[in-house]
């Protein structure tokens, strides 16, 4: 057995904090994106929501990069031994998809803003570097990609939650406790 693999148990506190903080920010950013795009015209509220949405995206990207570094240096607890091979593969692929999407979505949103000729000013204080100049054609492509990736993330998150429910309620593997600071993990 690899000495760096933890027995079935829970993630450490930093991993839990990053997981739930990133999840909350993604839900907030998605909801804000949905609401702000339905506001007609250019209003102060719409502009404020767009700013908040961008700030959430930059924050999520930074936290996800921290989470990836943390994950590379801290082994996750082993999956329950009672999980089937296909379930282990699905868990690995699902987590990989989550990480890829959590990086790609903020990056495409950032590039979309740049292609629209709008500089992101983080928290209204720090101007972020402009990586590409205004480009109407690229703006249209990046908008579609950004929105499509968001709906893909929504799908993967729903599948992730359904998998947790399946393992928790039907397989009685108590897998949810791995990411909660309370409860007793068991295989």
Overall average pLDDT of the 8-33 stretch? 93
Q: Would residue 3 count as lying in a domain?
A: no
Query: What's the mean per-residue pLDDT of the chain?
Result: 91
| Residue 153 is assigned to a structural domain of this protein | yes
Flag whether 141 is in a domain: yes
Please calculate the CA angle 136-107-91 and round it to the nearest 5 degrees. 135
Confidence at residue 185, expressed as pLDDT on a 0 to 100 scale: 54
Structural domain contains residue 24? yes
CB 103 within 8 A of CB 51: no
Q: Is residue 150 part of a domain?
A: yes
**Cα gap 33→25, rounded to integer Å:** 12
Q: By residue range, what is the domain housing residue 168?
A: 13-179
CA distance readout (Å), 56 to 24, 25, 121: 10, 6, 12
What's the rounded Cα separation, in Å, for the pair 148 and 142?
10
- pLDDT for position 100: 98
pLDDT 10s digits, 69-79: 999 999 888 88
The answer as to whether 83 is a domain residue is yes
Query: Is 7 part of any domain?
Result: no
pLDDT in tens, 123-146: 999 999 999 999 999 999 999 999
Q: Give me the number of domains the chain comprises.
A: 1
Q: List Cβ neighbours of 144 (8 Å cut-off, separation of 6 or more).
A: none
Domain of residue 86, CATH code: 1.20.950
pTM equals: 0.88
Residue 5, domain member (yes or no): no
């Amino acid at each position: 057995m690899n000495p760096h693999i933890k027995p079935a148990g829970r993630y450490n506190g930093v991993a839990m904090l990053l997981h739930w903080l990133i999840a909350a920010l993604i839900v907030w950013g998605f909801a804000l994106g949905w609401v702000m795009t339905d506001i007609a015209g250019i209003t102060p509220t719409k502009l404020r929501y767009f700013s908040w949405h961008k700030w959430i995206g930059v924050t999520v990207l930074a936290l996800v990069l921290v989470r990836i570094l943390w994950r590379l240096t801290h082994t996750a607890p082993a999956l329950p031994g009672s999980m089937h091979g296909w379930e282990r593969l699905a868990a690995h692929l699902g987590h990989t998809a989550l990480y890829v999407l959590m990086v790609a979505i903020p990056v495409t949103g950032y590039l979309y803003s740049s292609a629209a000729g709008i500089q992101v000013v983080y928290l209204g204080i720090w101007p972020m570097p402009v990586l590409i100049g205004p480009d109407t054609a690229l703006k249209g492509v990046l908008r579609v990609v950004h929105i499509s990736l968001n709906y893909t993330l929504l799908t993967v998150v729903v599948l992730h939650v359904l998998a947790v429910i399946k393992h928790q309620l039907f397989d009685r593997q108590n897998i949810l406790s791995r990411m909660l600071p309370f409860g007793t993990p068991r295989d």
